[in-house]
Structure 1
Amino acid sequence: MGVVALSLGCSRGVRPDSAVAGTKPVSGKVYSNEAGERVTLIGLEPGDSHKALVAFDNTKSELDGQVLVASVNSERGKTHYWTQWRGRSQRFVSVENRGGYEDLIFSDVNHTGYTHLKPDTGKTGALKVEKIFERYQDLEGDKKYQGMLVFDRKFWANQAEVQLAEALAETNKACGSKLTSTVAWDSITDAQINDISFGSYCVGALESLQKLCARSDEAKRAVQEKLQTVECRMDAQQALKLEARKVIWSVTERDTVQPDAATTFFTDNL
């Protein structure tokens, strides 16, 4: 895990039903950046539990003040911390060894951006790992905290809509158009929302239109004159269709129309 061992005080007893029952905090490291964002990693023993605690402070996200229990796995010089949040398994934190120094990569809940943090020697030296352990135990008994762990369809749908709106604004800017976008939410099950980053899937058609408009004024005129809305939906097969002035962008749980194919479709049909 790349964390340093620290001396422990006496931690209070852990509830039998706790996610950290049978473990104890033995190591910790604080990572920070110039913006004051801070992520603390607490190693838990026994080591074969592959568990850690991850604390978030001043990250300007809804994770601020939270401590999450993580499953830890390592591969090719990277250590990944997988946590549950709003019913989905999330990798908010990874630590990479970059030839002699560590780089902690933090991504927010919607994974639209990444922040880099470095080991903070001063804060690590002052760290009391048992305090983070107790902070997690307190949160486990908090109803609001528990509510943030269960699946939230409305939240993930809103996240997808935000991503789609951002891509739509960029497309309209690039094309000089007034396109609208929609998601056929009735075609998407809870399990599918839980399984994939649906917003990332839906922006593909809009990103292809942006690239076309960047190439020529002719493409801009075609988008302005022939398109009105873009609809994203789940279907049995990935597909791209044009009906009247509507683009229908169908994705599956494992596949979506690739960028080159989308560009070819629009070039041939607009």
Structure 2
Amino acid sequence: MRTLLAMSVFFAVALGCSRGVRPTGPGTHPVAKGTVYSAPSGESVSVVPLLPLEERKYLIQFQVPGDDHDGKVLLHTATEDGTEFWARWRGRNMRLFQERKSFRKKSGDFMISRVLKDDVIHVKPDAERTAALKSEDVQELYLRQFADGTLARGEAFDKAFWSRDHDRRLAEALKALNTSCGASVTAAITWDAVPQKLLDDGEAIGDYCARPLEALKSLCDESEEARRTVQAKVKRVDCRAGERFSGHLEADTVQWSIAPGADSMGAEQISQFFMDTL
């Protein structure tokens, strides 16, 4: 017993020294037995409750290769019904793990949210891995990542990170346009002309900027004449923030302005703009 006590004291002192001052807060509270949820493809989360349970705080370790939060242990707050788990990541409150509700009841369908991807990973409780899980190990990893700044860097707002998500959305629409039109149009979001507040507020910048590309694709799908026109007259689409949703043609470049919060242009209006302009 004395040996175990001495080892515990040594561990606590060493741990405190390694990070200067031992952190305090929900993530340092005693842990309860956790549960591992896994997918057939190998992804998993280890969900560890923190005491007292009524505070609804959890440490969740993610094993999601290729995703931004892979390998991280993040402090989550669960909703009152215990179906949604929210954490701070890249400057936003995100629901990274949840149990789907069906008619307001728990369904047993658990999901890991993908960051920067429009899908989820379905997982199920893994009895074998749960039996082997040591909640203390998950907490220790959390404390190490807290101490070395990994979590602080991940929780901070990252303009470049979120910009990539919108650029991805634009690239998808551009690929579809060029396929339908047989063209080699390029497109970009002029980030220097997009206020950071639009990113902070989670506005769908990529979706707004993709709309003119989608309109051109639809026109090409409907008409061979439209295909020839796009091939001849459109080489680039530039998207930026403006006072209203609008577009104009400069040489062979479409200058497209978006204004989230203002009256948007519908698909028919955008198509009509191109029919009138090209």
TM class, shorter-chain normalised? 0.7 to 0.9
Structure 1 distance, partners of 2:265, 2:53, is 43
Q: 1:100 to 1:257 in 2, by over 3 A?
A: same
The structure with the largest helix share of the pair is 2
TM superposition shift of 1:153: 1.9
Decide whether the 8 Å contact of 1:251 with 1:257 is kept in 2.
no
- Could you give the per-residue CA deviations for residues 56-84 of structure 1, whole angstroms, max 9, x where no partner exists? 11433232211111232368xx8332222
- Could you give the per-residue CA deviations for residues 30-81 of structure 1, whole angstroms, max 9, x where no partner exists? 2211111112222333345343222111433232211111232368xx8332
Please report the TM-score for the alignment, with normalisation by the length of structure 2. Answer: 0.78
TM superposition shift of 1:268: 4.7
- Could you give the per-residue CA deviations for residues 150-172 of structure 1, whole angstroms, max 9, x where no partner exists? 12222322333233223212211
Q: Does 1:126 align with 2:151?
A: no
Please report the TM-score for the alignment, with normalisation by the length of structure 1. Answer: 0.80
Alpha-carbon RMSD: 3.1
Structure 2: gaps spanning 5 or more residues: 1-7
What is the percentage of aligned positions where both structures have the same residue? 31
- Pairs aligned (count): 258
Decide whether the 8 Å contact of 2:74 with 2:151 is kept in 1.
no
Q: 1:79 aligns with which of 79, 83, 87?
A: 83
The structure with the largest strand share of the pair is 1
- Could you give the per-residue CA deviations for residues 128-171 of structure 1, whole angstroms, max 9, x where no partner exists? 22321222122110124422221222232233323322321221
Q: 1:88 aligns with which of 76, 86, 92?
A: 92
Q: 2:183 aligns with which of 177, 189, 209?
A: 177
Other-structure match for 2:5: none
- Please identify, of 44-53 and 25-34, the stretch whose mean Cα deviation from structure 2 is larger: 44-53
Computing the radius of gyration from Cα coordinates, the structure with the larger value is: 2
Q: Which amino acid aligns with 1:207?
A: E
1:1-270, aligned counterparts within 5 Å?
A: 17-20=23-26, 23-73=29-79, 79-97=83-101, 101-196=107-202, 197-237=204-244, 239-244=245-250, 245-254=252-261, 256-270=264-278
- Please identify, of 15-24 and 175-184, the stretch whose mean Cα deviation from structure 2 is larger: 15-24
Structure 2 distance, partners of 1:200, 1:73, is 29
TM superposition shift of 1:224: 1.7
